[in-house]
């Protein structure tokens, strides 16, 4: 049984039976602000056992409740920190903060973790300098904490332990542009002609610097196209006025116009010149950025190169838009072109027209023709062309050799940039159109009106196409077309018929038949198949022949006969085909060694391209290096060792597929020799003296 238990202690059990028992002892919060003790007694019928229980009072003590820093006291300036020493036997936490000036945080003063356990030391030091608009001031409340049954932190009452309001502050240095510390961004038109006023309010002297491009070193002053009422000033309030009306290095007023067709970026900064603030770790400055719009100079849709294409005539003009940010002019206008207007300001429509029709058969082109800005050096190169005078004649070759009896009409195309006429046409020639009054594409039909009645002489003419436009200008432009109709003719021109190979996968041979009358092939070897067998004499015919294979050993020949049915004339031509070649003689290869270390070559002739194959007799002990092919060949056979005690033979058949013939090769290999007779031996024991 438990006796004499104070109110601030509780036990999970106050009595029990004999044996071992675990008792949980709990104490309430000690809010007496001093340590306390109690003696409790465990009593039984025979014994009293006293137990002393001690409980510390919680404590939380700090060395300093106020931390103040100058504006430049910071980690980035390697300043010295101030220690916050915490002595405690409980957990603690910064439970709240109250900001009275600026925008400070615990992190700003170097407190990255707002809770801890037991005694600790925290170095208080601002992370960065304070160049903001006002001082930083805040109060952070540090309190002892415990945890409830859910693990949530809760403050220990002040009746039990002290909490502290810790004051942290950092002075500021005033360095404002337009009442702000943030970067200032401005947009400038491409023509410049702008003015900007910035109110500078600082506690230190300052100057202006600029950066030519991002990453470059900073340079005192301003770019040449920007002027200012001042480039530096002392502490206090003053206005910085910037104007986009600067001058170039020669003193010429460039008006701040953007010289580029892309954005021009200008990065300025107002930087302190105080002697104590020139360290790279202690620079105080404010950024001012300008983005100047790109200068636009464009002809049509192009800003760098533009193309103008005019028709051949002098009537058609083109209207092209000039898009420009400012004044512009067009220079080096080709002598054959009119441009209106040639200069202007801003966006305008320009009319381009050829002065007269181009009578040359080549295009007219420009040189150094360009649109350029009068406000900077931007230009747009222009390629101008005026189309050539078209005078194009396209005719089929048959008009140079019209068959004797042909009255067909053949198509001729003629394209001209103006009117034209044909001269030199004979009575026997039929022409569907002999002139045109305007430009365009004409499809003419030209052919002989009748059969050529002269059987001994060709008849011909030269047609002259003349330009009426050039004629009106006292000039000449012509195209010639020679037309001929053949006299009566009957000719055969063979192609590859004198020596046809015995075999070919594809063999081209033919006979060109030029005959003024209708004709027919009256005789042809049965091993030649013609593509056509007759013609009407109105056109030349190229007869192609397909030969069949000659499987015989001897060459063969035959006669082609073509008859002109108009006159009854017969012409012939002898054709020849080679005989088929195949060496089918037998071969014997004997005396092959048992342990063979060589191969044997069998060569044979065969018509070029003709296929062959080995059909039997290999694979058991004679192996060829190839088993099929085309034309002449050499086959290398390799025998394997003979394990038998008797000779062995085999034969190989090489099959010529086209003529179904065979070449047989016989192989004989010597037997394996080994003496298997039984032998006996006897021995006599040596005498004892010979043994020793």
- 18: which residues sit within 8 A by CB, 6+ positions away? none
pLDDT band, residue 256 (cuts 50/70/90): confident
Q: How much is the pLDDT for 398?
A: 93
Whether the CB-CB separation of 340 and 388 falls below 8 Å is answered with no
pLDDT band, residue 616 (cuts 50/70/90): confident
Residue range 271-326, pLDDT digits in tens: 998 877 766 666 788 999 999 999 999 999 888 889 999 999 877 889 999 999 99
Nearest to 136 by CA among 201, 71, 81: 71
pLDDT band, residue 681 (cuts 50/70/90): low
pLDDT higher than 60, residue 375: yes
pLDDT higher than 70, residue 254: no
Average pLDDT of span 545-556: 94
Residue range 47-101, pLDDT digits in tens: 888 999 998 999 999 999 999 998 888 887 778 899 999 999 999 999 999 999 9
Sheet holding 541-547, edge to edge: 490-495, 509-515, 541-547, 528-530
Q: How much is the pLDDT for 252?
A: 59
Whether the CB-CB separation of 327 and 296 falls below 8 Å is answered with no
Q: How much is the pLDDT for 692?
A: 45
Whether the CB-CB separation of 514 and 491 falls below 8 Å is answered with yes
Q: How do 136-147 and 164-170 pair as beta strands?
A: antiparallel
pLDDT higher than 50, residue 579: yes
Could you give the angle at the alpha carbon of 615 between the alpha carbons of 613 and 621, nearest 5°? 110
Query: Between 18 and 390, whose confidence is greater?
Result: 390
Q: How much is the pLDDT for 201?
A: 93
Percent of the chain surpassing pLDDT 70: 95
Sole residue written with tokens 């004989």: 668
Nearest to 29 by CA among 48, 7, 12, 11: 7
Residue range 17-41, pLDDT digits in tens: 888 889 999 988 888 889 999 999 8
Q: How much is the pLDDT for 280?
A: 64
Q: How much is the pLDDT for 281?
A: 64
Mean of pLDDT over the chain: 90
**Secondary element (H or E) of residue 66:** strand 66-69
Q: How much is the pLDDT for 71?
A: 86
Residue range 171-181, pLDDT digits in tens: 998 889 998 88
pLDDT higher than 70, residue 247: no
Q: How much is the pLDDT for 253?
A: 62
pLDDT higher than 80, residue 676: no
Q: How much is the pLDDT for 106?
A: 94
pLDDT higher than 70, residue 333: yes
Residue range 403-449, pLDDT digits in tens: 998 999 999 999 999 999 999 999 999 999 999 999 999 999 999 99
pLDDT higher than 80, residue 245: no
Average pLDDT of span 463-490: 95
pTM exceeding 0.85: no
pLDDT higher than 60, residue 608: yes
Average pLDDT of span 455-484: 95
Whether the CB-CB separation of 393 and 412 falls below 8 Å is answered with yes
Average pLDDT of span 345-364: 94
pLDDT band, residue 148 (cuts 50/70/90): confident
| Domains of the chain, earliest start first | 2-55 (no CATH), 60-170 (2.60.40.10), 175-292 (2.60.40.10), 297-356+363-381 (2.60.40.10), 391-485 (2.60.40.10), 490-577 (2.60.40.10), 587-669 (2.60.40.10)
Please state the separation of Cα 152 from the chain's center in Å.
59
């Amino acid at each position: 049984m438990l006796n004499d238990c104070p109110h601030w202690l509780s036990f999970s059990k106050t009595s029990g039976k004999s044996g071992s028992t675990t008792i949980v002892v709990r104490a309430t919060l000690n809010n007496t602000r001093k340590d306390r003790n109690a003696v409790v007694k465990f009593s039984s019928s025979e014994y009293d056992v006293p137990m002393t229980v001690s409980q510390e009072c919680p404590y939380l003590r700090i060395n300093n409740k106020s931390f103040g820093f100058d504006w430049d006291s910071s980690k980035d300036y390697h300043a010295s920190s101030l220690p916050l020493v915490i002595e405690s036997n409980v957990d603690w936490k910064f439970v709240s903060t109250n900001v009275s000036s600026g925008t400070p945080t615990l992190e700003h003063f170097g407190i990255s973790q707002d809770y801890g356990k037991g005694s600790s030391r925290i170095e208080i030091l601002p992370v960065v300098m304070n160049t903001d608009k006002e001082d930083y001031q805040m109060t952070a409340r540090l309190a002892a904490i415990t945890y409830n049954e859910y693990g949530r932190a809760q403050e220990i009452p002040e009746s039990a332990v002290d909490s502290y309001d810790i004051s942290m502050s950092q002075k500021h240095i005033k360095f404002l542009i337009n009442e702000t510390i943030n970067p200032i961004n401005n947009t400038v038109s491409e023509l410049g002609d702008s003015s900007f006023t910035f109110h500078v309010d600082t506690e230190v002297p300052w100057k202006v610097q600029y950066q030519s491009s991002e990453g470059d070193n900073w340079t005192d002053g301003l770019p040449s196209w920007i002027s200012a009422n001042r480039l530096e000033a002392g502490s206090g309030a003053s206005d910085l006025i910037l104007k986009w009306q600067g001058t170039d290095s020669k003193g010429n007023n460039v008006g701040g116009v953007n010289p580029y067709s892309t954005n021009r970026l200008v990065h300025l900064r107002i930087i302190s010149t105080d002697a104590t603030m020139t360290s790279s770790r202690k620079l105080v400055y404010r950024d001012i950025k300008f983005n100047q719009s790109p200068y636009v100079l464009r002809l049509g849709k192009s800003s760098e190169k533009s193309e103008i294409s005019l028709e051949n005539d002098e009537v058609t003009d083109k209207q092209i838009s000039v898009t420009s940010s400012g004044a512009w002019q067009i220079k080096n206008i080709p002598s054959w072109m009119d441009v209106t207007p040639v200069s202007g300001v801003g966006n305008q429509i320009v009319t381009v027209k050829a002065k007269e029709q181009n009578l040359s058969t080549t295009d007219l082109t420009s040189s150094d023709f360009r649109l350029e800005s009068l406000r900077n050096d931007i230009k747009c190169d222009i390629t101008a062309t005026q189309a050539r005078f078209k005078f194009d004649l396209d005719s089929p070759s048959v008009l140079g050799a019209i068959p004797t009896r042909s009255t067909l009409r053949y198509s001729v195309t003629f394209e001209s940039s103006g009117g034209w006429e044909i001269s030199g046409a004979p009575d026997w020639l039929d022409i569907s159109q002999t002139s045109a009054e305007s430009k365009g594409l004409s499809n003419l039909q030209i052919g002989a009106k009748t059969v050529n009645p002269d059987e001994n002489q060709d008849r011909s003419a030269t047609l002259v196409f003349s330009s009426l436009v050039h004629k009106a200008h006292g000039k000449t432009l012509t195209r010639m077309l020679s037309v001929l109709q053949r006299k009566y003719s009957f000719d055969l021109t063979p192609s590859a018929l004198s020596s046809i190979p015995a075999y070919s996968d594809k063999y081209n041979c033919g006979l060109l038949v030029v005959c003024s009358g209708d004709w027919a092939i009256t005789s042809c070897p049965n091993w030649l198949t013609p593509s056509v067998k007759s013609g009407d004499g109105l056109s030349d015919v190229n007869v192609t022949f397909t030969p069949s294979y000659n499987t015989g050993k001897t060459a063969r020949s035959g006669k082609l006969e073509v008859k002109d049915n108009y006159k009854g004339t017969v012409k012939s031509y002898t054709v020849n085909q080679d005989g088929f070649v195949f060496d089918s003689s037998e071969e014997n290869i004997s005396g092959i060694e048992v342990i063979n270390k060589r191969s044997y070559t069998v060569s044979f002739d065969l018509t070029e391209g003709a296929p062959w194959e080995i059909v039997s007799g290999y694979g058991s002990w004679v192996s060829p290096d190839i088993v099929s092919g085309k034309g002449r060949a050499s086959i290398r056979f390799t025998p394997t060792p003979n394990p038998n005690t008797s000779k062995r033979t085999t034969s190989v058949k090489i099959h010529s597929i086209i003529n179904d013939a065979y070449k047989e090769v016989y192989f004989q290999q010597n037997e394996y020799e080994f003496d298997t007779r039984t032998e006996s031996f006897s021995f006599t024991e040596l005498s004892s003296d010979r043994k020793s």
